[in-house]
Amino acid sequence: MKYKNIFFLIVYVVAVVPAFAQLGGRYAYTFLEQPVSPRIAALGGSPVAISDNDINVAFLNPSFISPGINNSLAFNYVNFFAGSNFGSFNYSHSFDKVGSFMASIQFMDYGKFDYADEAGNLGGTFGASDMAFNIGWGRQLDSSFSIGATAKLIYSYYEGYNSFGMAFDVAGTYKSKTGWTMSLIASNIGLQITTYSPGEKRSPLPFNLSYAISKRLEHVPFRFSFIYNHIEKWDLTYFDPANPAGGIDPITGEPLEQKGLAKFGDQFMRHLVFGAEVYIGKNIVLRGGYNYRRRKELSIVDKPGMVGFSWGIGVRIYKFKINYSRATYHLIGSPNYISLVFDLDTFTNDETVRF
């Protein structure tokens, strides 16, 4: 009973945090929202509740930091837009009495930029990058409940401007006897410690309180995943006059206002992310996802294409798991996500690696 009390205390804490997180204004360190794992990107880009000893899942949901990922290593790399790229390096180790830990380095490199004056004269280049050093902890309370937390030390550098910040992820997971897995995750609780310029007002971090659920079917090689993002805020609508949520009047050319059930449905769907996995034998898995909010915000009205959709594949080759995915943000192209994951213990005791 005491374990359940601890779990519900975690739930209470992450439910109260939003009252302190809504500071308004722009966000700092938005790179923390970018999925670095091909699996997460393929499933829609949000933290998931999948309990199958994947260190990349535990990177965003620390309640899955467990002995099951002991001595696991993961390298993630993303070839993003306009010469920018990002990725992460994750390692986990467990200790008998204190629980399991995970260390991670997350980075985003925006490439090189040209110095130019008002007349357009060039004079050298400069760089810009973001980085976070993470330490996570997780513990299984009993057969049903697990908890975890991750601390993040953040450094951001844009030309001669830099900033430091601190953030935390807190999560709790419940696994039912019938195979359902449910997680409550509070991501990026924290603050900007130093701003880019002296005297500048601190910016809030991209906080997200999400609920995730998944289940792998017993007699079918299929798993579905469902995420409800931003429990702390109902209206996630971003008003774009060129792409209004209600469309454009074909006669007047004015934006149309959504009302009633259509408005409710649009706002509700902006919270949802759907994902699915199909297992082909023991060594191949196909993945797909749909992010409604991404589609509404980034697609072109008369040519939406596949914006908001994502797909991926995972294969096991010897003792290595290789994952690849693409997520469509815009018609100009889709970023490539790739990762290499392996368990160091399998090289010493000849264990079999499976999805």
Measured between alpha carbons, how far apart are the two ends of the chain, in Å? 33
Closest to 111 measured CA to CA, from 78, 82, 76: 82
> How confident is the model at residue 305, as a pLDDT?
86
> How confident is the model at residue 3, as a pLDDT?
45
Q: Does residue 289 belong to any structural domain of this protein?
A: yes
Question: What whole-number distance in Å separates Cα of residue 17 and Cα of residue 145?
Answer: 21
Q: Does residue 262 belong to any structural domain of this protein?
A: no
CATH number of 166's domain:
2.40.160.40
Q: Does residue 243 belong to any structural domain of this protein?
A: no
Q: Looking at the 3D structure of the chain, how many domains does it have?
A: 1
Residue 54, strand partner residues: none
Residue matched to tokens 């999805």: 355
Question: What whole-number distance in Å separates Cα of residue 13 and Cα of residue 7?
Answer: 10
DSSP H helices, the chain, are: 2-16, 18-21, 38-42, 55-60, 260-269, 292-298, 346-349
254 contacts 246 by C-beta, under 8 angstroms: no
Residue matched to tokens 């007002």: 201
Residue 311 belongs to domain spanning = 2-116+124-236+271-349
3-state class of 160 per DSSP? Answer: coil
Residue 131, strand partner residues: 107, 155
Backbone phi, psi, residue 291, to 5°: -120, 100
Q: Does residue 111 belong to any structural domain of this protein?
A: yes
Q: Does residue 314 belong to any structural domain of this protein?
A: yes
**Residue 53 backbone class (left: φ over 0; alpha: ψ -120 to 50; beta: rest):** left
Q: Does residue 260 belong to any structural domain of this protein?
A: no
Closest to 42 measured CA to CA, from 298, 235, 287: 287
241 contacts 184 by C-beta, under 8 angstroms: no
137 contacts 148 by C-beta, under 8 angstroms: yes
Divide the 355 residues of the chain into consecutive groups of 10 and give the mean pLDDT of each group: 44 42 64 95 96 96 96 95 91 92 96 84 89 97 95 95 97 95 98 92 95 95 97 86 64 71 92 97 95 90 87 94 94 89 81 57
Q: Does residue 257 belong to any structural domain of this protein?
A: no
Q: Does residue 265 belong to any structural domain of this protein?
A: no
3-state class of 181 per DSSP? Answer: strand
> How confident is the model at residue 314, as a pLDDT?
97
> How confident is the model at residue 302, as a pLDDT?
75
